[in-house]
Structure formats: C-alpha cells, structure tokens
Amino acid sequence: MVKLDGQIGSQTGQGGVGRVEMKLIEPVLTTFHVAKVFRENTDKINSIDFSSNGETLITSSDDDSIVIYDCEKGTQKRSLNSKKYGVDLIHYTHAANTAIHSSNKVDDTIRYLSLHDNKYIRYFPGHTKKVVTLCMSPVDDTFLSGSLDKTIRLWDLRSPNCQGLMHLLGRPVANFDPEGLIFAVGINSESVKLYDLRSFDKGPFNTFKLPQDKDCDWTGLKFSPDGKIIMIYTNGNIIHTIDAFQGTPLQTLMGHINNKGLPLEASFSPDSQFIFSGSTDGRIHCWNAITGNKVAIFQAEHQSPVQCVQFNPKYMMLASACSTMSFWIPATPDE
C-alpha cells in the first residue's frame, strides 16, 4: 500500500511492498484506477467504515452480511451475518474487533457487536423509527444516533441507557467534530445547530440557517478532518459545504447524478482538500473542497448506484460500493 506523504501512502507491486511516498495532489488523483473488485454481496452495500489505522474496512449490506476487508493485502478477511436483525450504518468502535450498527429488521435497536466471535455485547433500545444517522466519537466511547422518530440520542458503549435525548422538528443528520468536543445536528434540511458535548442539555451554542433546497433533503453531515468545514450531502444532486465556525456557505458541489432520490454518501480526503461522492450512474466524482472545482470523474464497473464512498485515513486508497466493492489506488510513478 502507498502511505500518504505526511499522512498517507506505500504501493504494493508484484515484487512485494515498495515504499513509495506520494502526496495527495490533483495530478495524482487523476491517475486513480480500480485495483480490486469484490463481488461478495448479493444486495447493495449500505454502509462502510475504515478502521482508524487504515488497515481494514468493514461493510454492511442489505443482504444482512457484514464483510471485513484487509486494505493492505487487498483481500476479504471475513464475513459475518446478521440475518435476524439486518444491518445498516456500521461503524468501528475504538476497541479492537468491535462495531456498532443499526438494524433494519425487527426493531430499531442499535447493536454493539464483537466481530471475532459474532456475538452481541450490548443493545441500545429507544428509537421507535428507522435510525438514519449513527456516528462514533473520534476520541472515546460516546456515540450519537438520530432517527426518523425526530430524536437524537447520545450513548456510551458501556451502558445500555441513553445518556441524552433531544427532540427535534424533523429528520436529523449529525456528527462529531474531529476533536470530539462538539457535535453538529442538521435539522429539517434547513438549519445546523452546534452543541458542546459537555453541556448539550443547555441547547445549541450556535445555529446556522441555510437556504432550503427545493428538490432534496439532507441525508448526511460530516466535519472535514481539520475541523474547518461542515459538509452536508443530500438525496439530490447537491452537496453543501459551510464554514464550521461562522456557518457561512462556502461551496455548492454539483455535477454528479442522483435521479433516484438516494442518500449518496460524500467524504473528505484525510487532508481535507478533496471531496468524493458516488452517483446513480455508477461513477465517482471528486471536487477540490476549497475551490469547489471538479477534479476528476472516476469510471468503475459499478452497475448500480454508488451510495458509499470513503478515502482511507492512512493509505492512498479510495473505496466505493454499490453491491460490489471497489478499491482504488493511484498509478505509481513508474507506471
């Protein structure tokens, strides 16, 4: 694998691992190509998450399976099933070999799973409708969930009891900032509220009102890794970025296709310089996060909408998923 220069990049060739330092810049991005395609799933992959060290990737699918990939070797590591409850919105926790996920069968309980023996450690009941946002704190055992029941719940992995409850006026999207000190909640596709984790019960310390999109709803929210930008993605063909401190609109990213009203995930590169999104025509789009300019459009073998796209936090590698999983790497200098 290519370790990024300063943060990611080393490339494996046929003769083993050759350490190649690469910087994530636009000319390198334009050389990205599919290195490996996996066809383990029989239905769409609904969620993906890299481990913090970048060595593995975990996925959940509408076929009730959880698949773990080895990112360095480019191989499937193992596969688990959650036939009874289904599985969605899967995330690694900070403990080795554990994950949390929402359920799409039976009930809307969040489940804490031991991956090495496929046993549940704890259940987190409370939501009464589908969980549509789930995120782990970057620093500790706290996590947030938001549901179509118009609530956000704050949890601690060590207790099945909800640590905090917020009633909202509409569908929520939420996420932590990179330091895990504050979290942002997007409400009703029109306002973003910022909360201090230590005193969230006092209400938001800042609220940003944004112009409403006519034809789409917000489906996800992420902070850039440097904490300066909040990105909001939608079930339309628009991605918004705003200043994380002032709430000022920065860029409106367009050009990707979403003609099915799907929640297409968008993600930052680890250096916060680029944004990636899938599209319903199976392609992946990349923009410069600062200027808003389109950098590249990647053509893969995705036959159906690409709803999950993430960049590896440590290695020069992109993952994109429909019902198949593609690993992307750049061309090495001698190619």
Closest CA to 91 of 51, 61, 35: 51
Domain boundaries, the chain: 24-329
Task: Return the closest-CA partner of residue 318 out of 26, 20, 36, 19.
Answer: 36
Number of H helices and E strands in the chain, helices first, is 1, 30
pTM of the model: 0.92
β-pairing verdict for 274-278 and 266-268: antiparallel
What is the rounded CA–CA span in Å between residue 114 and residue 121?
6
- What is the CB neighbour count within 10 angstroms for residue 271? 19
Tell which CATH classification among 2.130.10.10, 3.40.50.2300, 3.40.50.720, 3.10.450.50 matches the domain 24-329.
2.130.10.10
Instruction: List Cβ neighbours of 246 (8 Å cut-off, separation of 6 or more).
Output: none
Per-residue pLDDT of the chain (335 residues; tens, 9 = 90+): 677 654 444 343 333 333 456 789 999 999 999 999 999 999 999 999 999 999 999 999 999 999 999 999 999 999 998 777 778 999 999 987 999 999 887 788 999 999 999 999 999 999 999 999 999 999 999 999 999 999 999 999 999 999 999 999 889 999 999 999 999 999 999 999 999 999 988 999 999 999 888 889 999 999 999 999 999 999 999 999 999 999 999 999 999 999 888 989 999 999 999 999 999 999 999 999 999 999 999 998 898 999 999 999 999 999 999 999 999 999 876 65
Q: For residue 26, what is the enclosing H or E element?
A: helix 26-29
Kindly report, residue by residue over 205-228, the tens digit of the pLDDT: 999 999 888 889 999 999 999 999
Q: Please write the tens of the pLDDT for every residue from 14-60.
A: 333 334 567 899 999 999 999 999 999 999 999 999 999 999 999 99
CA dist list (Å): 118 to 15, 254, 281 = 36, 41, 35
The neighbour count for residue 296, using CB atoms within 10 Å, is 15
pLDDT tens digits along 70-98: 999 999 999 998 777 778 999 999 987 99
d(CA 221, CA 300): 25
Q: Measured in Å, how far apart are the chain's first and last C-alpha atoms?
A: 15
